[in-house]
Amino acid sequence: KNEVEQSPQNLTAQEGEFITINCSYSVGISALHWLQQHPGGGIVSLFMLSSGKKKHGRLIATINIQEKHSSLHITASHPRDSAVYICAVIAGGGADGLTFGKGTHLIIQP
């Protein structure tokens, strides 16, 4: 069974700071997702990646398959980035469902 660990659990930063959220998993995967959950509960998919790096606006996600590690970076952070960021993986071997981390609660102060 895959264990997904995220760090930090909570992060408070000032507007404009560069943010890094880390995710580690215990066994090989087919893909890794970064998701954003707002206070109302809704979940939005940010990235799906299986290798390398992806960028969307101020968000960058990287994955190192050998080290079983991924990072989500936010450049020029803004209060509207405040949310819970969740790492989730799909195991190899034909699995469908995502295994989720506990999430990182990010607060960006103006």
Residues that bind other proteins (CB under 8 A): 30-31, 33, 35, 40-45, 48, 50, 86, 88, 90, 94-103
Torsion of CA 88, 64, 46, 27, to 10 degrees: -10
CB of 83 to other proteins, least distance (A): 14
Torsion of CA 78, 37, 58, 46, to 10 degrees: -170
Nearer to other proteins, 60 or 98 (CB): 98
Q: Is the Cβ–Cβ distance between 46 and 38 less than 8 Å?
A: no
Distance between CA atoms of 71 and 108, rounded to whole angstroms?
18
Nearer to other proteins, 97 or 110 (CB): 97
Nearer to other proteins, 72 or 86 (CB): 86
CB of 42 to other proteins, least distance (A): 5
